[in-house]
A and B are shown apart, each in its own frame.
Chain A
Amino acid sequence: MNPNTIPTSAPTGRRAPSAEDAFSLDENPPVAVSRKRRRLPSLGGIVGLLILGFWLLMAVIGPFVAPYGANGLVSDDVFGPMSQAFPLGTDYLGRDILSRLLHGAPYTIGVALLATVVACLAGVVLGLVAAASGGWIDAVVSRAQDALIAIPNKIFALIMVAAFGSSVPLLVIMAAFAYMPGSYRIARSVAVNVMTMDFVQVARTRGEAMPYIIFVEVLPNMLRPVLTDFGLRFVYVVLLLSAMSFLGLGVQPPDADWGSLVRENIQGLGEGAPAVLAPAVAIATLTMGVNLLIDSLGGRTKREMEN
C-alpha cells in the first residue's frame, strides 16, 4: 500500500528492505563499462520515451484527430470486433472505442499530470522549508504528513468522494493530498543531506539569505531525485484515478477517462469484446512507458511500490 510507512523511526540497524535494493545492488560492473553505458540510452529507455511522447501528444491533439465524436453512435454493432472502420471495436452503445479513447486521453493524462504537479510542488516546497528551518516547524510539518500517510490512498479517495461528490477539481485536490506526503519525505531527506554540504555552509557563512540558499544552492542539487519521484508519482496518480473512474467515482459522464471506459464496457467482457481490453491496455502502456523511462535514467533512488 503506502510505501512511506516503511518504519524510518524504528531504530533498526539494517534498513527495512525495499525494492530499491533490488535495483541498486546488482549494478557492480567495472567503472569504465558503466560510464560508457551511461552515455547511451538503453533500448527500454527509448521505447519508454517514445510511448510517453506518443501519449502526451495524444493528450493534446487526441480529440482533434479522433475519427468520430466522443458520443457519436456510429455503429449498429454493440461490442463490435476490431474492423477497418472501427480499429478498436465498438462499445456498449455502438460508439467507436478508438475515438472515445482519444477523447479520454486529456482526462486520464491531463488530470493526473496536474495532480502530480500540485502534489510534488507542495511536497518539495514543504520539504525544503522543513529542512531549511528545522526545529519545531520541521517537527510539526513532518507529523502532519505522517497523519496523512496513516490513511491508505484508495480509502482516502473514497472518503473525499463520499464527502464532497466527484468532480475534476476534487479529483485533482484529492490525488494531490494523497501523494504529497511521499513527495515531501523524499524532498526533505534529500534537502537535509544537501544542507550539510560544504558549499551550503560557505553560503551561510557568506551571510546569504534563506531564499537564496534554498533556490540557488540546494534546489538545483536535488533536481534529479525529485524528477524521478515525479515520474513515479505520476504513475501512481494515473492508477489511482483510473481505479476511481473504474469504480464509477472518478470522472463523471458524459465525460469519460480510460478507467470509465473499462467500467461502462465491463458487461462486454463475457463476449471478449476489445472495448474492455483496449482502454485498460492504454493505461498499462502509459504506466509501463514511464516506468521504462525512469529505469533507464538510473535515477530510481526510491522505487516505491504502491497500488
Chain B
Amino acid sequence: MNSTIARLVIGRLGIGVLMLLIVSLVVFFLTSLLPGDAVQEQLGQAATPEAVAAMRAQLGLDQPIHLRYMHWLGGLITGNPGVSLVNGMAVDEMISSRLPNTLSLAAITAMVSVPLALTIGILSAMYRGSIFDRYTNMLAVFAVSVPEFLIATIAVLIFAVKLGWLSALSRTVDVETFGELISVYAMPVMTLCCVLVAQMARMTRAAIIDQLSSPYVEMAVLKGARPIRVVLRHALPNAIGPIANAVALSLSYLLGGVIIVESIFNYPGIATLMLNGVVTRDMPLVQACVMLFCLGFLMLVLIADICAIVSNPRLRK
C-alpha cells in the first residue's frame, strides 16, 4: 500500500460519503413533496382540520422542510430514525428485529453463489467455445432476462408441488436442525443464486479470458505449461482484482432481488417491512429502510472500486 493508492482510496471514500448525503436529500425531498397524506389517511376523511393540524404539529410536520431534513438526518446518524406513523413503534426497533433475517439470507446466498460462480466462470474460460461454455452462457442469458418470480415459481412447482420436498412458504421460527435450515432457506437462496451466479460467472469468465490473451500467458503456453496450470497459476492471480470487483458489483444485485424473493416466500426480512411501509405510506419507515438499502448499495460499489484500485498493477511500486 503506497501513498498513491492511499490517496485514491481516501478520495473514493470521500465521494462515497458525498453520494450518501445526496441520496439522503433525494429520498427525503421526494417523500416529503406531498406532506400530510399519511396524517389525513390515518385520521380518516372525517377528521376536522384542527385535528389534522394538531397531529401534524405533534409529528413535527408543521416545521419548514429544511429544518425537518436536518432533524431527520441527525436522527438517522444517531440511530434514531423516528416513529412509525402507522403503529407508533420506534422505527429502529422494527428494523433491528428484521435485519438479521435479511442479512442471514444474503450471507447464505453469497456463500453458495460465490464459489459456484467462480468455478463455472473459470471452467468456461478454460474450455472456451466448448459445449459446456455455450450451455452455461445460454443459461446465463436466460437467468438474467427473465423475471425473478418466474424462477421462484418454477422452483416452487418442482420442489414443493411435484416433489413435495419443501413447503412453499418460509418460516424462520425455531430453526434448530440442519434439515429445518435447508427447508427454510433452500428456495429463496436458489432463486437469488440463479441471477447472481449467472452474472458473476460471466464476469469471472471475461476477467480470466482478458488475462489469457496477454503476452505472459502466451509465454507460459509456449514454455509447455499444462492448460490447468496456465489458468490457475498464471492467469488467476492477475485476475483476482477484476474478479473481486465483479463479485462486489454482482452482490449489489441482492439488494433488489431480496425485495421480490422475500415477498414471494413471505420471508420476514427488511424488504417485506419496507413493502408494508410503502403500502401503508409509513414514511419514516420507508425513508429509514431506503437509506439502509442505499447504504448497502454504495458500500458494495465502494468495495468494488477499492478492489479495482488496489489490484491495479500500475499503482504498485
Give A contacts to B, CB under 8 Å.
Answer: 1-3, 5-7, 9-14, 16-22, 25-26, 146-147, 150-155, 158-164, 235, 239, 242-243, 246-249, 259, 262, 266, 269-272, 276-277, 280-281, 283-284, 287-288, 291, 295, 305-307
Chain B positions within 8 Å of A11 at CB level: 8, 309, 312, 315
Chain B positions within 8 Å of A243 at CB level: 147-149, 259-260
B283 within 8 A of A: yes
Interface of A is mostly: helix
Task: Contacts A2-B252, A18-B206, A152-B256 given; indicate if A307 touches B195 (C-beta within 8 A).
Answer: yes
User: Of A1, A13, A242, A249, which one neighbours B314 at CB under 8 angstroms?
Assistant: A13
Task: Contacts A6-B249, A151-B23 given; indicate if A276 touches B147 (C-beta within 8 A).
Answer: no
Segment among B62-70, B173-181, B207-215 that sits at the interface with chain A? B207-215
Chain A positions within 8 Å of B228 at CB level: none
Chain B positions within 8 Å of A18 at CB level: 203, 206
Give B contacts to A, CB under 8 Å.
Answer: 8, 12, 15, 19-20, 22-23, 26-27, 30-31, 33-34, 128-129, 137, 141-142, 144-150, 153-154, 156-157, 160-162, 168, 195, 199, 202-207, 209-210, 213, 241-243, 245-246, 249, 252-253, 255-257, 259-260, 263-264, 274-275, 277-279, 281, 283, 286, 290, 293-294, 297-298, 301, 304-305, 308-309, 312-315
Q: How far is the CA of A161 from the CA of B281 in the complex (A)?
A: 9
Tell me if B153 and A16 are in contact (CB < 8 A).
Answer: no
Chain A positions within 8 Å of B162 at CB level: 272
With CB as the reference atom, state the residue of chain B lying closest to A267: B168
Tell me if A284 and B259 are in contact (CB < 8 A).
Answer: no
Chain B positions within 8 Å of A2 at CB level: 252
Known interface pairs A17-B204, A243-B149; 13 further A-B residue pairs with C-beta atoms within 8 A, sorted by A's residue number? A7-B308, A11-B312, A14-B210, A17-B246, A19-B206, A158-B259, A159-B27, A164-B33, A246-B147, A272-B162, A277-B150, A283-B150, A306-B144
User: Of B149, B283, B294, which one neighbours A280 at CB under 8 angstroms?
Assistant: B149
Tell me if A26 and B150 are in contact (CB < 8 A).
Answer: no
With CB as the reference atom, state the residue of chain B lying closest to A292: B141
Say how far B127's CB is from chain A's closest CB, in angstroms. 12
Q: How far is the CA of A271 from the CA of B314 in the complex (A)?
A: 59
Tell me if A26 and B290 are in contact (CB < 8 A).
Answer: no
Chain A positions within 8 Å of B20 at CB level: 150
Q: How far is the CA of A12 from the CA of B316 in the complex (A)?
A: 12
User: Of A1, A14, A16, A162, which one neighbours B252 at CB under 8 angstroms?
Assistant: A1
Chain B CB within 10 Å — which of A152, A276, A306 has the most? Answer: A152
Tell me if A158 and B286 are in contact (CB < 8 A).
Answer: yes
Q: How far is the CA of A190 from the CA of B166 in the complex (A)?
A: 50
Tell me if A158 and B278 are in contact (CB < 8 A).
Answer: yes
Across the A-B interface, the 4 shortest Cβ-Cβ residue pairs: A21-B206, A17-B207, A280-B150, A154-B256
Task: Contacts A152-B294, A270-B168, A280-B153 given; indicate if A19 touches B203 (C-beta within 8 A).
Answer: yes
Say how far A196's CB is from chain B's closest CB, in angstroms. 25
With CB as the reference atom, state the residue of chain A lying closest to B281: A162
Say how far A188's CB is from chain B's closest CB, in angstroms. 19
Say how far B248's CB is from chain A's closest CB, in angstroms. 10
Q: How far is the CA of A153 from the CA of B260 in the complex (A)?
A: 13
User: Of B148, B156, B213, B313, which one neighbours A307 at CB under 8 angstroms?
Assistant: B148
User: Of A10, A235, A277, which one neighbours B12 at CB under 8 angstroms?
Assistant: A10
Tell me if A151 and B294 are in contact (CB < 8 A).
Answer: yes
Task: Contacts A17-B246, A162-B286, A272-B157 given; indicate if A242 touches B147 (C-beta within 8 A).
Answer: yes
Tell me if A150 and B129 are in contact (CB < 8 A).
Answer: no
Tell me if A16 and B278 are in contact (CB < 8 A).
Answer: no
Say how far A281's CB is from chain B's closest CB, in angstroms. 7
Say how far A247's CB is from chain B's closest CB, in angstroms. 6
Chain B positions within 8 Å of A161 at CB level: 278
Say how far B124's CB is from chain A's closest CB, in angstroms. 9
Say how far A175's CB is from chain B's closest CB, in angstroms. 14
With CB as the reference atom, state the residue of chain B lying closest to A239: B147
Tell me if B256 and A26 are in contact (CB < 8 A).
Answer: no
Task: Contacts A159-B290, A162-B283, A287-B145 given; indicate if A247 touches B259 (C-beta within 8 A).
Answer: yes
Chain A positions within 8 Å of B210 at CB level: 14, 17, 21, 25
Q: How far is the CA of A272 from the CA of B30 in the complex (A)?
A: 41
Tell me if A270 and B160 are in contact (CB < 8 A).
Answer: yes
Q: How far is the CA of A172 from the CA of B304 in the complex (A)?
A: 31
Q: How far is the CA of A150 from the CA of B22 in the complex (A)?
A: 9
Chain B positions within 8 Å of A147 at CB level: 19, 22-23, 26
Q: List 20 A-B contacts (CB under 8 A).
A: A1-B255, A17-B204, A21-B209, A25-B206, A25-B209, A147-B19, A150-B19, A150-B23, A152-B294, A154-B259, A159-B30, A159-B290, A161-B278, A162-B286, A163-B30, A164-B33, A269-B153, A270-B168, A281-B150, A283-B146
